[in-house]
């Protein structure tokens, strides 16, 4: 495989990751907005889903390049799927913590305001977000692991190419 094909593969992989992650994070943001709207509470964090999708997709690509999350390839597919889902859920939570820190610094302008913000923000909402992200990652990494086992292009071929009609 030449350098152009490798670059194209990384480019496609990145944008597929961005699309999947942003789609689900956006659905969760809209779900949160609708729940809060029921109680007449405003919610305006829509752009964060795209930013987190862009960042997390890059984190996944870098981690794969560094072979982070590997080591269970010889186990049943559920093992590497759940391991990577857990590992990258932790990454999402770290990004969320960084997001809260940056937003608090920008709003308050005072680093001391970060600690009360964290004590107020870490609640059942964080637990719910963590569980949802973990569940979102299971099919994401499950399909990727299945693709690894079946071979390059097999899954995309099954989804996006016509097959002969069965008799």
Q: If phi over 0 gives left and psi between -120 and 50 gives alpha, with beta otherwise, what is residue 163? A: beta
- Mean pLDDT over 40-63 rounds to 82
Q: How many CB atoms lie within 10 A of CB 123?
A: 9
Distance CA 18, CA 34 (A): 24
Query: What's the gap between Cα 42 and its chain centre?
Result: 25
User: Is residue 85 scored above 80 in pLDDT?
Assistant: yes
SS3 content of the chain, % helix, strand, coil (to 5): 80, 0, 20
For residue 71, count other CB atoms closer than 10 A to its CB: 11
One DSSP character per residue, 96-135 reads: HHHHHHHHHHHHH--GGGHHHHHHHH-SHHHHHHHHHHHH
Specify the pLDDT at position 118: 67
Highest mean pLDDT among 5-9, 38-42, 88-92: 5-9
Q: What per-residue confidence (pLDDT) applies to 130? A: 85
- Confidence tier at 42 by pLDDT (50, 70, 90): confident
Indicate the pLDDT class of residue 39, thresholds 50, 70 and 90. confident
Q: Which of 110, 113, 67, 107 is nearest to 87 (CA)?
A: 67
> Comparing 43 with 88, which gets the higher pLDDT?
88
Per-residue pLDDT tens for 110-159? Answer: 777 777 776 666 667 778 878 888 998 999 999 999 998 998 888 888 88
């Amino acid at each position: 495989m030449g350098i152009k094909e490798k670059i194209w593969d990384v480019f496609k992989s990145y944008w597929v990751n961005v699309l999947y992650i942003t789609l689900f994070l956006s659905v969760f943001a809209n779900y949160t907005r609708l729940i809060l709207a029921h109680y007449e509470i405003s919610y305006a964090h829509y752009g964060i889903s795209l930013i987190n999708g862009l960042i997390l997709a890059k984190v996944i690509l870098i981690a794969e390049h560094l072979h982070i999350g590997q080591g269970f390839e010889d186990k049943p597919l559920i093992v590497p799927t759940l391991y990577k889902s857990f590992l990258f859920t932790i990454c999402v939570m770290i990004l969320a913590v960084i997001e809260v820190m940056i937003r608090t610094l920008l709003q308050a302008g005072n680093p001391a305001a970060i600690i009360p913000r964290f004590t107020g923000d870490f609640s059942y909402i964080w637990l719910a977000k963590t569980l949802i992200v973990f569940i979102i990652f299971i099919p994401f990494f499950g399909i990727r692991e299945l693709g690894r086992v079946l071979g390059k292009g097999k899954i995309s071929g099954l989804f996006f190419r016509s097959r002969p009609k069965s008799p």
